[in-house]
Amino acid sequence: MHYKQKITLNTPEESKGVEIMPNKPLDEEPTKKRKKKKKSAFRYYFFNIVLGIILVIMLAYILSVSVFITTKVTVSGSTIYDENYIKSKAIHKGEYKKNSIYQVVMGIIDEPRDIPFIESIKVGLKSPSHVNIYVKEKEMLGVIQADDGKYVYFDDDGIVKEIAKKKLDKVIPVSGLVATKPKIGKSLSIDKDALKTLLNVVKALHKYKIDVDEVKFHGKSRISCQCGKIEVDFGNFKYLDEKMMRFDIILKKIKGRTGKLHLENWTPETTDVVFEIKE
């Protein structure tokens, strides 16, 4: 016979100190078992996660030292600097310089900055052994000189993008205007009317894909362009888009000649255009 609880009886004099201890709940032992199961499951998953991380790290290391070995480096998007200069700025030296993964990671951590005319330089992979350097140049519409003789490059909103001693050939030069104490990220410090005319002229040249050697300002609003041996007088800003459209058509007929094309008096009512030939 089995008893569920045990009672100890004392003499009458000691009966006041009698304590009856009930059995512990029947479900206490299963609770302990459940806790043990949870603890075991945690250990199981924790062990497998750690093991998985270790295996991934080992695999990544094996691949990096055996597959991701740089054998080719190319540069794309750079029209201002040659490939060797960009490589010297973007490719990191050191013990792992031949590792393509190392170059990509270091390109993110330590991206080349403060290079004139360059917005950003990104390093990526075309294949495990082929590293490509992606260059994004600053968008520059034209350039004028500053009061200290440096060149001030601006975008289509008239915002200064770069100030440098170097003059680039691919950007339209503007003469007759001088920027006073220009600052990168700020609007060109010239007369507001002149700035408005300047931006409209340069935008129109880009719109019609007209290559000019120089844009000249005569005062604040009168402008002309030099295109080879041909000077084009646009007069003021009025009807500028229409004048540019006609200039684009006429230029194909007079290209290679020397002279002055008069568009300053063109209006929708006065459509005659005179080309003054110079021998």
Do 146 and 218 have their domain in common?
Answer: yes
My answer on whether 271 and 146 are in the same domain is yes
User: Domain for residue 55, yes or no?
Assistant: no
Is there a domain that residue 210 lies in?
A: yes
The span from the first CA to the last CA of the chain, in angstroms, equals 135
What is the total count of domains within the chain? Answer: 2
Between 65 and 8, name the one with better pLDDT.
Answer: 65
Q: What are phi and psi of 119, to 5 degrees?
A: -80, -45
Q: Is residue 21 part of a domain?
A: no
Shared-domain flag, residues 175 and 127: no
Residue 207 pLDDT more than 60? yes
* Over residues 111-138, mean pLDDT: 92
* CATH number of 265's domain: 3.40.50
Q: Are residues 154 and 267 both part of a single domain?
A: yes
Beta bridge partners of 152: 144, 163
**Do residue 148 and residue 132 come from a single domain?**
no
Q: Which of 88, 103, 137 is the last residue of a domain?
A: 137
pTM over 0.85: no
Q: What is the pLDDT of residues 90-116, one digit of tens each?
A: 999 888 788 888 899 899 999 988 899
Among 137, 164, 192, the domain boundary falls at 137
Neighbours of 65 (CB within 10 A): 12
Q: What is the mean pLDDT of the chain?
A: 83
pLDDT at 118: 94
Domain that holds residue 257: 142-277
Instruction: Give CA–CA dist 39/44, Å, rounded.
Output: 9
CA angle 96, 99, 105 (to 5 degrees): 90
Q: What is the pLDDT of residue 210?
A: 87
Among 20-24, 55-59, 216-220, which stretch is predicted with the lowest mean pLDDT? 20-24
Angle at 254 between CA 250 and CA 258, to 5 degrees: 130
- 133 and 146 together in one domain: no
